[in-house]
Structure 1
C-alpha cells in the first residue's frame, strides 16, 4: 500500500546563519513539524547551494559542545573540515558523510575546508540531529567518517540514476552507517523522467527533502527545496523526476521517550540538561582550541 502524504512544506522564506559559514533553512523543527513528530530526527538544517565567494578567512562554527544525540553532516557541494575533542579530524567532500555520536559529551568545530575557502564556489549541505535513546545517551563519543566510495550503491535501471544508501536498507542494499535505533537514510539522484520505488516500515516517521529538482511523490508534486512529510498508513514510496533531482529520504523508528533540549544538549529531563551544563563547565567534554 502506498503511503499517504500528510503535507508538503516549502522552505522558510529566509535562511538563518549558523556561525558565519552555514546559511541554512531550518526544516525540522519547523512550522508544523515538531521534534516528536519526526523522532528520532531532532533537527534538519539545509544549506541550499550558495556561493560564499573566495576568502582568506575560514568561515564556520567555532568550538561548541554536544551531548545526548548524534550529528550527521552530508556534503553535496563544497568541502567541510571538522575537529573534535576526541582527536578526530578530517574533511568531508561532496558525497561524504560525517556521522558523529556526541553521546556523553564532546567539543566540536566545523568550518569550510581551507582550499575550498580560498577558491570559493557553491556550498551545499545538510545537517541532521538524530536522537539517542536514554540508555545510550552516556555512550562514549565517537565518529564514523563515511566516504562516497563506501556508500551502499543502487544503480537504477535504464541510466535512471543512483541511490547512495547511507544507513538502513534500500531494496536489497544496506548502508554502512551504524545506528542506535532503526534508521533509513538515502541520497537519491534521479534523472529527468525516471523513477524509483522502495518500502519503509509503516511505523517509521518518514520525510523527503527535495535538495534539487522537482519530483512526483506518490502522485503529488514536490518542488525544489520542499519537504514531504508522510502519514503512517502504508509502506510504499514511489518517486518520479519531472526534472533531474537530488533527494534526501529519511525514515526512523520513533523514540517514545520525553525530549528535553536546550541548545546543543538533548536529554530526557530538565535535571539532565542542568547536569550537562555542569559537566561541560567542569571540562568533562575534553579540550579543543
Structure 2
C-alpha cells in the first residue's frame, strides 16, 4: 500500500445565504477544481461554518423547493433543523444527527430552524451534501433515513485517540448507519490533541476532508486549519490524520459514478432531455404537494 497524498487545501470561500437560515461556504462545485465530475459521487458541498443566529419568533430557513436525481445529506454539528418532504419524510435533525433524503424520482422539500432553537437563538453549524445517483436509480422511489447522534454507529480508536462515527460505508469492521446506492464512506472523526487516525481507501476513490473543529496534520506533513477542505490525490490508498488540537473532521470517500452529468438548479440528471422532463414534471405537479 502507498500513501494517498494531498492534492490541494481549499480555504472557505466568501459565505452566501441559502434562504435566510443557512449561511454557507460552497466547496463543491467550485473554482478549486472541485467540479461535479472530479468529486463524484459528491456533487455539492455547502458548509455552514459556526455562526450565531439571534433569537427569532419566525424560524429562518428555505421554503418549498424540488429535487430530482440525487440524495441530500445534512450533518448537524450545532443547532437544530426541522424538515419535511412531499413523500412523507421529515422530522428534526438535532446536534450530532444526520438526515439522508433520497430525492430520486422527485420530491418537494423544505427546511427551517427548529422552532425552539429559533426562539432561543444560538450557534448553528451544518454541512449539506448532494450525493449523485447512478442512472439506473435516478427515477427510483424517494426515501428517507434519519439518525440521531445515538443511532450512528461508532468505532472507538485505540490508545484513547478518539472515535470514528461511521455515517456510511465501513471503518475497520464498523458498518455505517446509512445505506447507499454506490460504494462510499462518510465519517465524522473526533480526535484528541496529538492523536492520530489511519485510513485506507481505493486509489480511484475521490476523497476529501473538511475540518469542522480544530486543526490537523495530514500524513504528518500538511497542516490544515479549521473550516478548510483537503482534496487527496487519486493515487495511493493510505493516509493519516493527526489532531494538532482536539479536532472534528468530516471524511468523504467514494467510487466515482462515471456517467454523464446534466445539472440545472435542483435537478441532476444524465441528459438535457431528462432535465427538460424534470422541469415539466415539476411544473405539472408530479412531485406531490407540500405546504409552504
* Alpha-carbon distance in 1 for matches of 2:9, 2:258: 25
Cα offsets for 1:145-184 (capped at 9, x unmatched): 1221121201122332111000001112111111000010
Q: Does 1:277 align with 2:279?
A: yes
Give the corresponding residue for 2:34.
33
Q: What is aligned with 1:190?
A: 191
Matched, 1:216 2:217: yes
Distance 1:18 1:9 in 2: 21
TM-score (norm 2): 0.97
What's the TM-score once normalised by structure 1's chain length? 0.98
- The 5 A counterparts of 1:1-289 are 1-12=2-13, 14-31=14-31, 32-218=33-219, 219-289=221-291
Q: CA RMSD in A?
A: 0.8
Residues in 2 aligned to 1:276 and 1:147: alpha-carbon distance in whole angstroms: 32
* Distance in 2 of aligned mates of 1:222 and 1:200: 20
Q: Secondary structure at the match of 1:208?
A: strand
Structure 2 gap ranges (5+):
none
Shift in Å, 1:54: 0.6
* Aligned length in residues: 288
Deviation (angstroms), 1:101: 0.3
Q: Helix, strand or coil: the match of 1:224?
A: coil
User: Which 4+ stretches in 1 moved above 4 angstroms?
Assistant: none
What per-residue deviation string (whole Å, max 9, x for no partner) do you get for residues 90-124 of structure 1? Answer: 00001110000000000000010000000001000
1:271 Cα offset (Å): 0.7
Secondary structure, aligned partner of 1:57: coil
SS in 2 for 1:233: coil
Q: Contact 1:96–1:147 at 8 Å: present in 2 too?
A: yes
- Conserved 8 A contact 1:79-1:92: yes
Distance 1:89 1:262 in 2: 25
Distance 2:128 2:72 in 1: 7
Give me the whole-angstrom Cα distance separating, in 1, the residues matched to 2:204 and 2:282: 36
Gaps of 5+ in 1: none
